[in-house]
Structure 1
Amino acid sequence: MKVAIISVSKKGRDLALELKEKLDNDSTIIKTDVFHKDVKHNFPILFEEYDSIIAIMASGILIRTIAPLIESKVTDPAILNIDDNANFVISTLSGHLGGANRLTHKVAQLLDATPVITTSTDVNRKLGIDVLAKDLYLSIDDTKEILYFNKGILEGKNISFVMNSEKNFDYLIKYLNENTLEMDVSINYSSEVKYDEIHVQMDSHRLILKEKDVVVGIGCRRGKECEKIFEGLKISINELNIHESRINFLSSAEIKKDEKGILELSKKLDVPVYFVELDKLRLFESNDIQKSEFVKSKFGIYGVSEPSALITAGFDSELIYKKTSYDGVTIAVAVSKAK
């Protein structure tokens, strides 16, 4: 997640800098930039370039500024509102698909503030279908149906998940067991459902959830054992709250194609591994990746885990976990755009 923090007062700016320092230590936050004043000029730019905007200002200023910019719950960024004294962190826009509710809880904990969430499913301790899709990196074929499904969940209707039995959906089963609370959920299997799809049914309505590709990029010292690499991977995906069965691909640089630890991990997870050519890594450009002069001096490329993950995930993919080191192992995670 790429986060912009914007403030209008000196006290708000001090809070913004404090929050940036805390968020920069979170591997799931890809970058955090701070803006001050010039709200009308900055907001249209922030809407286009950031996944979330944290506005430290009066709610009236925020609402009047974003009103002309709002388009859709599918595309609008997450927006949080914080007062200068950091008493409250309010999820203001795109609570589910944009991730504002989850970020609100994270920021409130960092600032020892009170999180304010108003979405019906959350306050009634129900799981929204759009929350499930967001958390598990699934696209939704018809977002207009979200309202019907979430209303039905609130009313206690049965919701059925139908999958292909040949595919490992442990990640979904685990997620539902941990998050459905008192919801009426059933699991069914059908060979007619495509391998990478989950069909969700309620009454005569149906949604199709489709997996985006989750790619784990790996860099490591020569001879690093499989278990050591796996330890770093497990820490990373635990911070993302995803199960190992949700991983679609592993990726690294072609200089690692004989690395026994990575090859063994691919077999252990039953996930294919792609080794990206050095020429592709040299030519790859992204403002989101961290550049290492040490790696550049040794291999002629600025990094392994982040660019490998992004290249393997495909055009317009995005980092969801920035390069993080674990005793000689670096892990980054990217997700593809909706198929």
Structure 2
Amino acid sequence: MNTVSERSVSLFSLTPGGQQIARRLRQALSALSMHCYCAEKYLQAGFLPFDGNLKQTVAQRFHCDHALIFIGACGIAVRMIAPLLKDKFTDPGVLVIDEQGQFVISLLSGHIGGANELARQVADSLGAQPVISTATDVNQTCAFDLLAQQLNAASEQLHAATKTVNQLLVSGHTVGLYIDPWLEATLGFDIRQFDIRGLTLVTEHDVARYALSALIDVSMQVMRPDWPIPSFQLIPRRLVAGIGCRKNVSSVQLLTLFQQQLQRLNIHPLAVAAIGSIDLKCDEPALQHLAQQYQVPFKLFSAAELSSCSAQFPQSEFVQQTVGVGCVSQPAAWLLSDGCLLGETLRQQGITLTYGVMKSCYMS
């Protein structure tokens, strides 16, 4: 899960009093990448002038930053962002702080946008009161979208599931939470380290016995049980792939083999988190195309990095002479997954493909 310290923030100070709050925040939250803006007539060291005016500057930063902070009235902030709003899954977090620094209001995108988390951090630094109004927070329950973010999980029904599950939780209905035993056995997966307030942990056999209104099914697998109630799958992005290939291998061939191997392993395509190879393949079109198709990072390793763990895998003299290490796909997958490989290495059509599974939500 992304933390606030990793996010870029634009802060808009509308008065000299607001600038005092801005300076306090910039000093207290130095880990944040914070840009402070103000009117040109109030310009001083550490501040940037509005680019044209406040409205134009907000419009420019709205799609660039993870969060916007206004020091001033809520009404002004609402009027500035209103024409820019799209949805809770893509809009940045927006906070409003009063000029006296007494209240920090989470105005927009409290969950996925991170505004609630940021509001608490900002309020703590100012000695202020965070104002959180999202229904799940007020009712002391978790939220489907926030749980997805914490797990770094995807969902084919994210919008519908978030609306349905969150409404059920705040209305007092019982929502079950099922964890695929494969995740627990393979990765030591522990759901209790995440926010699951209000959810009822169940086994596959429990589902029919509980009076559940819906079920959250956490699994990386495609084939799922035929649940007797509405279910929404959360797919942790934990699958990584180490790939070696000949020069100018067909993008279609690589994509086809990749998909076929996923099907053999019964792994959902949305579980893919990254692909990796040797740095000599940085410009290989088929690998770049694959990463783009799955919208995942393309991680590159030097021959020396791959050699650090390659001895445990079958070696090829040709590969050794060509790239400086005796194998590529297995050590790349090993490094990406911290040594948790999945299935056998596929060798076909000038391609070697090895899957691994990360034990943590995010790559180290």
1:103 and 2:105 aligned: no
Name the aligned partner's letter for residue 20 of structure 1. R
Aligned residue for 2:182, secondary structure, equals coil
* Greater relative contact order (Cα < 8 A, sep 6+): 1
- Where do 1:156-167 residues align within 5 Å? 156-163=173-180, 165=182
What's 2:193 paired with?
Answer: 175
| Alpha carbons 2:178, 2:218 under 8 Å: kept | no
| Distance in 2, Cα, partners of 1:200 & 1:119 | 33
Q: CA deviation digits over 1:11-35, x for unaligned, max 9? A: 212322331233233xxx4x22222
Instruction: Report the CA distance shift for 1:79/1:149 in structure 2 as closer, same or farther (over 3 A).
Output: same
1:22 and 2:28 aligned: yes
Instruction: Report the CA distance shift for 1:334/1:12 in structure 2 as closer, same or farther (over 3 A).
Output: farther
Q: TM-score, normalised by structure 2?
A: 0.55
Query: Pick from 5, 8, 13: which aligns with 2:11?
Result: 5
Query: Pick from 105, 108, 112: which aligns with 1:90?
Result: 105
Aligned residue for 2:100, secondary structure, equals coil
Q: CA deviation digits over 1:54-96, x for unaligned, max 9? A: 1111111111111111111111111111112211111100111
Identity, % of aligned positions: 25
| Distance in 2, Cα, partners of 1:6 & 1:15 | 11
1:204 and 2:236 aligned: no
Name the aligned partner's letter for residue 234 of structure 2. L
- Where do 1:269-308 residues align within 5 Å? 269-271=338-340
Instruction: Report the CA distance shift for 1:19/1:202 in structure 2 as closer, same or farther (over 3 A).
Output: farther
In the TM superposition, what is the alpha-carbon distance from 1:132 to its structure 2 partner? Answer: 0.6
Query: Pick from 75, 84, 101: which aligns with 1:60?
Result: 75
What's 1:33 paired with?
Answer: 35
| Alpha carbons 1:99, 1:134 under 8 Å: kept | no
Q: TM-score, normalised by structure 1?
A: 0.58
| Distance in 2, Cα, partners of 1:119 & 1:42 | 27
Q: CA deviation digits over 1:230-262, x for unaligned, max 9? A: xxxxxxxxxxxxxxxxx98997852544558x9
| Distance in 1, Cα, partners of 2:58 & 2:193 | 35
In the TM superposition, what is the alpha-carbon distance from 1:187 to its structure 2 partner? Answer: 4.4
Instruction: Report the CA distance shift for 1:19/1:124 in structure 2 as closer, same or farther (over 3 A).
Output: same
Aligned residue for 2:130, secondary structure, equals strand
| Distance in 1, Cα, partners of 2:14 & 2:173 | 44
Q: CA deviation digits over 1:190-240, x for unaligned, max 9? A: xx996367989997323232334699xxxxxxxxxxxxxxxxxxxxxxxxx
Aligned residue for 2:22, secondary structure, equals helix
| Distance in 1, Cα, partners of 2:136 & 2:225 | 17
Name the aligned partner's letter for residue 12 of structure 1. G
| Distance in 1, Cα, partners of 2:24 & 2:223 | 41
1:153 and 2:169 aligned: yes
Which protein has the larger Cα radius of gyration, Structure 1 or Structure 2? 2
What's 1:79 paired with?
Answer: 94
| Distance in 2, Cα, partners of 1:162 & 1:71 | 32
1:144 and 2:160 aligned: yes
In the TM superposition, what is the alpha-carbon distance from 1:114 to its structure 2 partner? Answer: 0.7
| Alpha carbons 1:158, 1:186 under 8 Å: kept | no
Q: CA deviation digits over 1:167-210, x for unaligned, max 9? A: 6454452335xx33453232449xx9963679899973232323
| Alpha carbons 1:5, 1:55 under 8 Å: kept | yes
RMSD value, Cα: 3.8
Gaps of 5+ in 2: 1-6, 40-52, 206-216, 241-272, 277-298, 310-330, 342-361
